[in-house]
């Protein structure tokens, strides 16, 4: 399946192959996208925040209350923001497009 990452500058694009069951954060990091993921997917930070394309947002399961709480801490949050550590890819998400936010909060100092 294909996933497209739009770079933080809004211009660059990286298209990658992924497998159903992959976690979006892992896919992003494997392809050198600048998503920190400080808490390693434990939903204790917001450094893996991505903005899902409006047309793709409805294909994702709803965010949990805990994820919504963490998104409140993220910089540049939009209506279609999600934590990439919480997105487990499915075949229904083939062609998913997400943007790396232009701003982020670096939790590692």
- pLDDT, one tens digit for every residue, the chain (109 residues): 999 999 999 999 999 999 999 999 999 999 999 999 999 888 899 999 999 999 999 999 999 999 999 999 998 999 999 999 999 999 999 999 999 998 755 444 4
Domain that holds residue 57: 2-99
CA–CA gap between residue 42 and residue 107 (Å, rounded): 14
Is 24 inside any structural domain? Answer: yes
Is 105 inside any structural domain? Answer: no
Is 69 inside any structural domain? Answer: yes
Query: Is the whole model's pTM more than 0.85, yes or no?
Result: yes
Is 108 inside any structural domain? Answer: no
Is 46 inside any structural domain? Answer: yes
Would you say 59 and 96 are in contact if contact means Cβ atoms under 8 Å apart? yes
Number of domains in the chain: 1
Query: The domain spanning residue 22 has which CATH number?
Result: 3.10.20.30
């Amino acid at each position: 399946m294909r996933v497209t990452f739009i770079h933080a500058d809004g211009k660059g694009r990286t298209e990658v192959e992924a497998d159903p069951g992959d976690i979006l954060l892992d896919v992003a990091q494997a392809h050198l996208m600048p998503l920190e993921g400080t808490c390693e997917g434990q939903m204790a930070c917001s450094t893996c925040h991505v903005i899902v394309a409006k047309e793709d947002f409805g294909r994702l399961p709803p965010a949990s209350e805990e994820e919504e709480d963490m998104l409140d801490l993220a910089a540049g949050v939009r209506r279609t923001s999600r934590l990439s550590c919480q997105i487990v890819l499915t075949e229904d998400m083939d062609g998913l497009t997400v943007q790396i936010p232009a701003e982020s909060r670096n939790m590692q100092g």
